[in-house]
Chains A and B, each alone.
Chain A
Amino acid sequence: MRLEGDHAFDGPRPAVWDMLLDPDVMARALPGTERLERVAEDEYRGVMRVGVGPVTAGRYDVTVRIVDKAPPARYTMEIDGRGALGFARGTAQVTLEEEGPERTRMRYAADLQIGGKVAGVGQRLIESVSRSLTAQGLAALNGELEARLARRGKGAKPGPAEPA
C-alpha cells in the first residue's frame, strides 16, 4: 500500500523536526500506540493496537528505525510491525520544506506491505482506516506543536520568533 500526502505546520522547521523525532510525540501521533521506547540511537520499539473493519483491534509489536537523517530536511522511517492478526512493514520518507519562518510543509510517502488477516479480510477498509489514522495523527501533531511553541514562548526564547 502506498500512502502519500503533505501537511503544513504553523511553526519553524527546526521545531517541527525536533517534535517529529521525539519518541513521546511519535507515540502520541501514531494512533493506537500503547508505548514506544527508544532502544538505541534512532531505533524505537513499542506496542500498537489497531483494528481494521472486521479484524478486531490486535496487538502489534512495532520497531521503527530512523535512517538517512538529514536534519532538518528529511529522514526515512523503517517500520516493522507484527502481530497475531498480521503485519505491516515498509518505509516512509518524510521531508520538511520551509515555506516561511513560521510555516513548514511536511511531505510523506510511505510504501507499506500489509499481510495476514488485516490484508485478507480487512482489505476493503485498509485505505480508509489508513486515511483516518493519518488524519488523527496529524491533528495530534498540530496540537503538540502548538503546545510546544506556546511553552517555548513563555520561557526564554532562543528559537525563532513567535507567531504573529
Chain B
Amino acid sequence: MAEVLGRAFRRNEDFELLTGRALFVDDVQLPGMLHAAFVRSDFAHARLSGVDLEAVRRHPGVVGAWSAEDLGDYWQPGPLLVPPPPIERLTFHARTQVPLARGKVRHAGEPVAVIVAESRYVAEDAAALALVDAEPLPAVVDLERALEPGVALVHEDLASNVAAHVIQERGDYAAARAAADLRIARRFRYDRGAAAAIENRGIVADWNPRARELTVWDTTQAPIPIRNGLARMLDLSESQVRVVAPFIGGGFGPKIMMFYPEEVLIPWIAIRLERPVKWIEDRRENFFATTQEREQIHDAELAIAADGRILGVRDEFLHDCGAYDPYGLTVPINSQCTLLGPYEVPAYRSEFRAVFTNKPIVTPVRGAGRQHGVFVIERLLDLAARELGIDRLEIRRRNYLAPGAFPHDNNIIFQDFAPLVYDSGNYAPALEKAAEIIGYEAFVREEQPRLRAEGHRRGIGIVSYVEGTGIGPYEGARVSVEPSGRVSVATGVGTQGQGHFTSFAQIVAEVLGVDPAEVAVSTGDTREFHWGTGTFASRSTVVAGSACHGAASAVRQKALELAAGILGVTSDDLVLEGGRVSVRNDAGRSVALGELASRANPLRGAVRPGAEPGLEASSYFGPDRGSTASGVHACVVEVDPETAEVRVVRYLVVHDCGRVINPMIVEGQIHGGVAMGIGNAFYEQLVFDADGQLLNASLMDYLLPTATDVPAVETAHMETPSPLNPLGVKGVGEAGAIPVGAAFAQAIEDALPEYGLEILEIPLSPNRLFELLERKRKEALP
C-alpha cells in the first residue's frame, strides 16, 4: 500500500475543470436571481454625512438600495477573527470593518451603499446615481508619518494610529550587542501587493422561505466559520444555513473567513427580498475591497562574532494594518517569529507597532508576513558575510540549528498562541544539496568570472528559511463506504486548487486499500461536513489530511472487525486491498467492502450497543502546535546594468515538507509560489498617492508575472517527517513564495559587485533598481 502515498497520481478534479463543467460561484444561476452592485467611496478618508439613494431607487429595474442608515440593528462591526496572542505587555485595539461606512470612510473603495437590480448592468447604472455626501479629511498613508503628533486619526476614538504594540524577547540582546565583534544595522522595507487570484470574490445567497433555509455560495477558504457567523448575525440556527465553497479560482489568503461587507449583506438582502441575489466582484473592486498585504519597515541590527556566529538580533518594525484590523496580529507575529529562521539566535528582541492607515485592509496573503522575517535575517547575514569575509554558505552553516536540537523552543509565542517550537528539521543537508544542484562552487569559481569577461553580469543567491505550517485548532473528516463499494470523504476545509480531491483521496485510499481515483472527496460544503475552520497557514494536508487518515483508519478497523466475524478469523489475519477484505494467504475467503457496508447497516437484527451503524467514521485532528517546514532557495540571475533588466536564469527550491503525499502536487505548489514570489519581488507593487488613492488599480498597471517572466523552477525534496501528526507531513502551500525576495536581492548584488549595492527593499522594480544603480554611478564620480 506504500505505493499510494508519495506517488504522483493525476488529479481527480481535473476532468471537470478542463471541460468547463466545474462550478465556480459566478456559475450559479437561479431563477429570479437579482444582482448587486456596491457604491464605494472615492475618498480614502472622509467625513460621511449620508448617501442619497432616491434617484437610485427610482431607476427602472432597481429592486432595492441600502445605505448604513437603512440596515437598522443589522449594522454591526464585523467579528474580530483572530484575537491577539497571549503575549505579556501586548496592547491591541480591535477596530473591525463595517458592512457599510457610517459617519466616516476610512479607505478608498470602502462600500457606502448596496444596490440590487434585475441585472448587474442596471445595478451599475443605478450606482452612478447615488449621491454621496462626503467631506474629505487628510489621509493617513505613510507608515511613519501616521505616528507623528497631530496627524489625522483613522479611528478617532483612539489616541493615535497605533493598532498594536508587541515586544517579544529571548536572551539578553544588550549583552549580545556588547559582546559582538561586528554589528550590522540597516533599515528594510517591504511594500504592498495584491493576492490577485484570477477569480475575483463573489457570493450568491438564496433564501427558501418555505423550508426557512439559507444557501450561500461563497468564494471563501473557510465556509464553516462563515456559516456559523452568518447564522448568528441573521438569528438563524446553524442548521438553517448552508455555505458552499464550490470550486474556487485561487485563494492565497484574502478569501479567508473575512466576513467582508458583501458576505454579510448579500444573504441579509436575499432574505428580505425572498429572492436569490448575486454579487461578483469586478477586478477594479478587487484592488480595493479585497484584503492585501506586506507593507512593513524594519530597523534591524545583527550582533555577530568574528567567526560568523550570531550573538543576537534586534528588530523594531512598523506594520501597516490598513484601515481596520479584523485579522488581529497574525501577519506581524509571523514576521517576528519567522525572522529567527533555521538559526541559533541566542538573544532576540523584537518590537513592532501595527499602524492604522487609510488603505485597504491587510490580512494574510500567501506567506503572511513570513517574507519580511526571512528577508531581514537573510540580508543581515549576507551583509555580515561580506564584512567578515566569510562565504555566504559558510556563515549559514555556522549558525544552523544542529540536527539533534529538535524539538527546538524559540521561547517566543507564534500566531497559533503556542510557543514557537520547531518540531523537526535538518537544515545543512538542504543547503548542501542546493549548492550541489545549482553548482555553487563552479559558478563562483569559473562560470561567473568567465561570463564577466564576456560582458555578462550573472549572480547567484542562496538563502534558507523555515516556515511555521499546519497550525490548529483542528479539522475533521468523515469517511464512508456505501453498499455499492463507493468510498467518500467529506471534510470542512475549502479548496482553491491545492489538489485536495486527490491528496485526501490518496490518504484514504492507502488506508482502505482502494484506488484513489475511486474515492470521492467533498470539501467546502457545510451540508456535507460542518466542523472545522478552513484553508490557511499551509495547514490543510497536515490537519485535514490527518483527520482523513484518522477517519479512514476507524473505518478500516470497523471493516476488519466485521469481516473477522463473517470469515471466522481474527482481524490480524485479514488484509484489505482491491476493495476487499480477505484472509491472509487465502484470497478465496474474502468479502467486499460494499458487502460489509450493507452488513453494517442491517434492516433486521440489532446493531450492538456501543457500535455505530454503517461503514462510516468521523475523526478530528488538532495538533498541539504547528509543524515547521524548511528549505533553501537558490537562483542565478543575469542583470543588465544599463537597463536594469533582470532575467532569472535558474531557480531551484530544495524543500522539506516532511512526508510528501503527492510529489506532483507539492512541486506544483512550489512552482506557483515561486512565480508569486518573483512577482512580489520584481513586478508587483500597489502604489498609493499621498491622498490614499491607489494609482494602479488594474491588471494593465499592476503587473502579474507572465509566462515570459517566470523561469522553470527546479525542485528537490528532503523529508524530515513531522512527529506531530500520523502522516509525518508539513505544509507546503506558501513555501515557494516566502524567500524569493531574499534570494533575488542576494543574486543581484552578486551579479554587480563593482556597484557595492545593498538591496534593502522589496519589491525591487526595474525602475527602482535603475535608480539604485544610477545613485551608485553618481557616487562613484569624482
Contacts and interface: CB of A to CB of B under 8 A. Distances in A.
A72 interface: no
Interface string B267-299: 000000000000000001001100000000000
A138 interface: no
A121 B42 contact: no
Interface in A101-148: 113-117, 119-121, 123-124
B284 A116 contact: no
Contacts of B698: 54, 120-121
A11 to B, nearest CB: 37
Chain B: number of interface residues, binned into ranges: 20 to 34
B441 interface: no
A86 interface: yes
Contact of A87 (B42, B127, B284): B42
Given A84-B128, A89-B136, A120 B694 contact: yes
Contacts of A120: 108, 284, 287-288, 693-698
Contacts of A113: 136, 691, 693
Contacts of A119: 689, 693-695, 697
Interface in A87-106: 87, 89
A84 B127 contact: yes
B758 interface: no
B43 A123 contact: no
B428 to A, nearest CB: 48
B42 A115 contact: yes
B436 interface: no
A157 B284 CA distance: 58
B42, B129, B130, B287 interface centre (most CB from chain A within 10 Å): B42
Nearest to A122: B698
A123 B695 contact: yes
A54 B698 CA distance: 11
B691 A115 contact: yes
Contacts of A117: 284
A139 B773 CA distance: 43
Interface residues of A, number: 17
Contacts, number: 51
Contacts of B693: 113-116, 119-120
Given A87-B43, A120-B695, A115 B284 contact: no
Interface centre among B689, B693, B694, B696 (most CB of A within 10 A): B693
Contacts of B612: none
Contacts of B694: 119-120
A71 B183 CA distance: 63
Interface in B93-128: 108, 127-128
Nearest to B40: A116
Interface in B354-372: none
Contacts of B696: 120, 123
A46 B287 CA distance: 32
B701 interface: yes
Contacts of A84: 127-130
Contacts of A82: 42
B487 to A, nearest CB: 49
Given A120-B287, A121-B284, A115 B701 contact: no
A58 B129 CA distance: 12
Interface in B686-707: 689, 691, 693-698, 700-701
Contacts of A123: 695-696, 701
Contacts of A86: 42
Contacts of B129: 84
Contacts of A115: 42-44, 108, 691, 693
Nearest to A85: B128
A10 to B, nearest CB: 38
- Residue among A54, A84, A86, A115 having the largest count of chain B Cβ atoms under 10 Å: A115
A54 B127 CA distance: 19
A87 B697 CA distance: 16
A120 B359 CA distance: 13
Given A89-B136, A115-B43, A124 B691 contact: no
B186 to A, nearest CB: 32
B632 to A, nearest CB: 39
A85 to B, nearest CB: 8
Contacts of A87: 42-43
A123 B701 CA distance: 9
User: Lowest 10 CB-CB distances: which A-B pairs, in order?
Assistant: A120-B697, A84-B128, A116-B42, A119-B693, A123-B695, A115-B42, A115-B693, A113-B691, A121-B698, A120-B694
Interface of A: 54, 58, 82, 84, 86-87, 89, 113-117, 119-121, 123-124
Given A115-B691, A123-B695, 7 more contacts: A84-B129, A87-B43, A113-B136, A115-B44, A117-B284, A120-B287, A121-B701
20 contacts: A58-B128, A84-B128, A113-B136, A113-B693, A115-B42, A115-B44, A116-B42, A116-B693, A117-B284, A119-B689, A120-B284, A120-B697, A121-B284, A121-B697, A121-B700, A121-B701, A123-B695, A123-B696, A124-B700, A124-B701
